[in-house]
Amino acid sequence: MIRRDTATKPEIAAALQLSLPTVGLIVGELLEAGLLCEIGMQASNGGRPAIALQLIENARLSLGIDITKNHVYFVVVNLRGEIIAGERQEYEFANLLTYYHGLVQRKREFLKKYGIENDSLVGQSCSMPGIVSKNQRWLEYSHIFELKTPMRLNISKDIQYPYMFVNDGTACCMAECYSENMPDSFVYVMLSNTVGGSMVIDKKIVEGKNIRGGEIGHICLVPGGKKCYCGRRGHFDAYCSARVLAEQAGGRVETFFARLEEGDSRLAEVFDEYLDMLALMVYNLHIFTDLDIVIGGYVGSYLAPYLSQLKEKIIRHNIFDESKEFVFLSRYREEAAAVGGALHFIEQFIEKL
């Protein structure tokens, strides 16, 4: 029902290999719960016409919040995984009660603005750049937020539904995992104001022993090179975060690519060097894992016109003659982390039906 506009009980029974009486009981429960509705009769082939059923996609919703150093992104998705509301707001992070209270107030105003009732929400995720605890209830530490001790976010007091905190790179990867045509195993690279990512094996994100899996941004590419925000030198983040490009164009990635498209020769040189480092990192990840690489984040959303240029640079490193493509771009832009976390609760809700 999620992938189709309409279906009948016989069609559902055939697809799920269940008996018609069993399907009838399940459909009855879903109708009573307000998740399905009857929209009329399908055309008959000679027998009794079957009733067409349709999913009420907005009957249940999920909220995702992505917190960055300077912004917060709210997004709501429905049972089909569609974004029905989204908003990015400037809001500088501070580990203060006033910040948390302000975040809760912004969330309430966002939900009210789009007419979303708390009763319809099945969960809320909150993604952040940092290491999240195993129970997903607090942030262990974050270099970008300058947090060196565990921090419990005081934004859960008004929540009457399941919630979790999740690393932003992991959340972005979750959005890809729930996409319909994604491979079972791949590596996700997030190129946003920080660089992160995840590795997926058989549709499961590899979190690692200490829930630090996917810290791609802190892989050292150039020993003794540019200084990373963590204080060390030569890390991938220092060469390929969105900030590297934004700093060349008044602090905005979109301005960088607009000027690049206009033929700015100085920015073309900067971008060529950027792609050199990105190509090296993508090759390293691919040669080690032998998996497809999916690139997302702020920069990933602008890479489509330059993907062939990136692939040419990767080929120069590759020792294998590969006929199949292994580098792809994410279908999401800056909302990916918020969407991924929200989709987690939609999938959980569907699995429990």
pLDDT digits (tens, 9 = 90+) for 102-140: 998 999 999 999 999 989 999 999 998 888 877 777 777
User: Are 195 and 300 in a shared domain?
Assistant: yes
Q: Two tokens at 126?
A: 């909150």
59-70: average pLDDT: 93
What is the rounded average pLDDT of the residues 289-299?
A: 94
Residue-number span of the structural domain to which 237 is assigned: 181-329
Same domain for 122 and 222: no
25 and 148 belong to one structural domain: no
* pLDDT at residue number 157: 59
Residue 2 in domain? no
- What band does 143 get if pLDDT is binned at 50, 70 and 90? confident
CA 109 to chain centroid, in Å, comes to 23
Q: What is the DSSP letter of 306?
A: G
Are 105 and 206 contained in the same domain? no
Please state the rounded mean pLDDT for residues 285-291: 96
**308: in domain:** yes
Of residues 211 and 288, which shows the higher confidence score?
A: 288
Is 191 in the same domain as 319? yes
Q: What's the pLDDT score for residue 50?
A: 81
Q: What is the pLDDT of residue 9?
A: 87
Query: Which string of DSSP letters, residue by residue, matches 5-26?
Result: S-B-HHHHHHHHT--HHHHHHH
Q: Tell me, rounded to whole angstroms, the distance of Cα 214 from its chain centroid.
A: 14
In a domain, residue 214? The reply is: yes
Residues 23, 112 share a domain: no
Q: Is the pLDDT of residue 335 over 90?
A: no
* pLDDT averaged over every residue in the chain: 89
Percent of the chain with pLDDT over 90: 53
Together in a domain, 118 and 191: no
Split into its structural domains, the chain has a count of 3
Q: What is the mean pLDDT of residues 200-211?
A: 88
Q: Is there a single domain that holds both residue 34 and residue 51? A: yes
Residue with token string 């709210």: 74
Count of other CB atoms within 10 angstroms of residue 174: 26
Q: Are residues 239 and 297 in the same domain?
A: yes
Same domain? For 162 and 205 the reply is no
Is residue 235's pLDDT more than 90? yes
Give me the residue label for tokens 């976390």: 341
**What was the pLDDT predicted at 45?**
63
92 in a structural domain: yes
pLDDT at 6 (0 to 100): 85
Residue 3 belongs to some domain of the structure: no
Look-up of token digits 């009948």:
8
Compute CA distances 352 → 30, 94, 315, whole Å.
12, 37, 45
Domain co-membership, 193 together with 219: yes
- Assess contact for 209 and 250: CB atoms under 8 A: no
Domain boundary, last residue among 55, 70, 87: 55
Does residue 34 lie within any of the structural domains? yes
Q: Residue 188's pLDDT band (boundaries 50, 70, 90)?
A: very high
Between CA 166 and CA 186 the distance in angstroms is: 19
Q: What pLDDT sits at residue 154?
A: 57
- 291 shares a domain with 240: yes
32 lies in a domain?
yes
The model's confidence at residue 292, banded by pLDDT at 50, 70 and 90, is very high
- CATH, residue 283: 3.30.420.40
Q: Answer yes or no: is 1 within a domain.
A: no
